[in-house]
Amino acid sequence: MNVITTEQLLQKLDAGEEISIIDVRESEEVANGMIPGAKHIALGQIESSMEQLDKSVPHYIVCKAGGRSAMACEILEENGYDVTNIAGGMMDWNGEVQF
């Protein structure tokens, strides 16, 4: 499984890279802030919602600390998606958040 730190992701965003970020936390967690531009798909909805994701682009998966995003990465990888787990999740995120 590919892994990236929150600092590495922030550097990519600061450099202006177009990045697909999927936040797999629950709605009440997302209400406390998400990485700007992230798409919310709760972990329990990943399998039924994956057709919304473009298989031709890499996706970066985030949760609170990295565990649920790792599970989402496994599911998506098994279905042919290029995914990277964001280690440390939102607990380590030092960039902007949107509400």
Q: What is the pLDDT of residue 26?
A: 98
pTM strictly above 0.85: yes
For residue 31, what are the CA distances in angstroms to 2, 39, 55, 72, 96? 27, 13, 27, 20, 14
Domain containing residue 63: CATH number: 3.40.250.10
Q: Indicate whether 36 belongs to any domain.
A: yes
Q: Which of 22, 63, 73, 90 is catalytic?
A: 63
The count of domains in the chain is 1
Q: pLDDT per residue over 31-58, tens digit each?
A: 999 999 999 999 999 999 999 999 999 9
Query: Mean of the pLDDT values across residues 80-90?
Result: 98
Q: What is the pLDDT of residue 4?
A: 98
Q: pLDDT per residue over 8-28, tens digit each?
A: 999 999 999 999 999 999 999
Q: Indicate whether 98 belongs to any domain.
A: no
Q: What is the pLDDT of residue 84?
A: 98
Q: Indicate whether 35 belongs to any domain.
A: yes
Q: What is the pLDDT of residue 34?
A: 97
Contact 35, 23 (CB under 8 A): yes
Is 73 catalytic? The answer is no
